[in-house]
Structure 1
Amino acid sequence: RFNFILLRENVGKRKAQIAAIRQSSGDLVLNVDSDSTLAPDAVTKLALKMQDPGIGAAMGQLTASNRNDTWLTQLIDMEYWLACNEERAAQARFGAVMCCCGPCAMYRRSALLLLLDQYESQFFRGKPSDFGEDRHLTILMLKAGFRTEYVPDAMVATVVPDRMGPYLRQQLRWARSTFRDTLLALRLLPGLDRFITLDVVGQNLGPLLLAVAVLSGVGQVALTTTVPWWTIIMIASMTMIRCSVAALRARQLRFLAFSLHTPINLFLLLPL
């Protein structure tokens, strides 16, 4: 049975979520994006995971429903696989997935009701926040003492950008959310496993170190007119090792092509 909630105006995702949660009555709340397509058993598998009362949220595995449209959508589909089956899967081993992604995440309603005021009142640069809802809500769950989990066999497909401009804007929003909510997460880290601390530090420090490496290479070219071969070799080697491991784990050679993401990261994402 479905109840449709009609709001007087477009108030954004966060306020729409809050309105729905406050009018809900079940034990669990499922959040999906408008372009998400869930596997028939995805809800069941998430609900089974949520039987543990210590779990506040759980997310499924994301794929790109339009994967075959362009080379970029194929690249993003691989990026999602890596984010889910490396990053989230590793975090879930310690009960602290740091972002239960918006396309498909299930929450414990009793926990949500305790957090709604904090969730609704988040500000960024003096204005109500209108991005990064999934990450912020996940951090609030962890802050409240709940575990957050990843369910790899709860499959969901979502539409991803098929052009570079929208993709870069999406990545910029996500990066801002990551850096902003990391400040909130810092207070949680002493109570979490040390791996989570290492992971959070790596996610935030890694791009900065990569930017320093690129800038030093550019500086070397400009000042000495020599090519920074060691920097190039190290970045290329790390890229191929990661792609090879992913191809081996997924048993799909297509992941070797994920190396194309490195120049996008270096020359388009980092400058943002």
Structure 2
Amino acid sequence: VLTMSDTAIGAAMGQLTASNRSATWLTRLIDMEYWLACNEERAAQARFGAVMCCCGPCAIYRRSALLLLLNQYETQMFRGKRSDFGEDRHLTILMLAAGYRTEYVPDAIAATVVPDKLWPYLRQQLRWARSTYRDTLLALRLLPRLDRYLTLDVIGQNVGSFLLAVSMLAGFLQIVLTASAPWQACFLIASMTMIRCSVAAVRSRELR
């Protein structure tokens, strides 16, 4: 409420947690992923007044701004077809395009039920990935008006997944063509992942 008292702010989001995080190993990982997304990615973006996606379960929007953007929001199209996925990211981009700031409020905490099985989780991630790439095209026109860090952030998010796919393909080709696995690269990636997850697990437990 205090954040929204600033009329320059069109939307704000809080910290998202998994209400069923103790259910399975997957829900624990998702809860950790949420902590990283909120307290690293969104918190960093908020320093520049432009959280790129105010997540639906824990977001608040300025009513007057929402009414101005309602028609664009309800009639969103992609490649000539109506689009009804990734509505939270799309609305956030519309807010930024209209000149409003978007913020992250870590003290506002909301819990949501997350997938506890792998297949529903993968389907969810595929849907979110489609939204990310679609709205990145819309956000490209915004980037010159935003801080250069946000340009780097958007590029990193989108290019990173592409580079990961290329790395996996290169590793597969190495196995097929040379009958040897890129163990050094695999060990490095696994080590970096474990370190990051361990830090996130410790910090999220401390803060919660």
- Please, what TM-score do these two structures have when normalized by structure 2? 0.95
Q: Distance in 1 between matches of 2:95 and 2:195?
A: 34
8 Å contact 1:213–1:231 — kept in the other structure? no
1:64 aligns to 2:6 (yes or no): no
Partner of residue 169, structure 2: 215
Alpha-carbon offset, residue 93 of structure 1 = 0.7
Return the match for 1:181 from 124, 135, 138: 135
Partner of residue 180, structure 2: 226
Partner of residue 48, structure 2: 94
- 3-state DSSP of counterpart to 1:63: strand
Alpha-carbon offset, residue 62 of structure 1 = 0.6
Q: Distance in 1 between matches of 2:202 and 2:87?
A: 34
- 3-state DSSP of counterpart to 1:202: helix
1:201 aligns to 2:201 (yes or no): no
| Farther off after superposition, 112-121 or 169-178 | 112-121
- 3-state DSSP of counterpart to 2:56: coil
Return the match for 1:246 from 163, 187, 200: 200
Correspondence 1:69-80 to 2 at 5 A: 69-80=23-34
Alpha-carbon offset, residue 243 of structure 1 = 2.2
1:116 aligns to 2:86 (yes or no): no
Partner of residue 192, structure 1: 146
Return the match for 1:164 from 94, 97, 118: 118
Q: Distance in 1 between matches of 2:198 and 2:116?
A: 25
- Please, what TM-score do these two structures have when normalized by structure 1? 0.73
The structure, 1 or 2, with the larger RCO (C-alpha pairs under 8 Å, 6+ apart) is 2
Q: Which runs of 5+ in 2 are unaligned?
A: none
Q: Distance in 2 between matches of 1:67 and 1:166?
A: 16
Counterpart amino acid of 1:135?
R
Alpha-carbon offset, residue 228 of structure 1 = 0.9
Superposed CA offset, 1:70-102 (max 9, x none): 111111111111111111111111110000000
Q: Distance in 1 between matches of 2:83 and 2:137?
A: 15
Alpha-carbon offset, residue 137 of structure 1 = 0.1
Runs of 4+ in 1 over 3 A off after TM superposition: 247-252
Alpha-carbon offset, residue 69 of structure 1 = 1.3
Q: Distance in 2 between matches of 1:200 and 1:58?
A: 19
Counterpart amino acid of 2:197?
C
CA RMSD of aligned residues (A): 1.3
Superposed CA offset, 1:147-202 (max 9, x none): 00010010111111111111111100100000000000011111111111111001
Q: Distance in 1 between matches of 2:196 and 2:32?
A: 12
Q: Distance in 2 between matches of 1:77 and 1:250?
A: 9
Give the helix-richer structure, 1 or 2.
2
Q: Distance in 2 between matches of 1:198 and 1:251?
A: 30
Counterpart amino acid of 2:54?
C
Superposed CA offset, 1:114-172 (max 9, x none): 11111112112432111000000000000001000010010111111111111111100
Partner of residue 97, structure 2: 143
Q: Distance in 2 between matches of 1:232 and 1:154?
A: 38
1:55 aligns to 2:21 (yes or no): no
Q: Which runs of 5+ in 1 are unaligned?
A: 1-46, 253-272
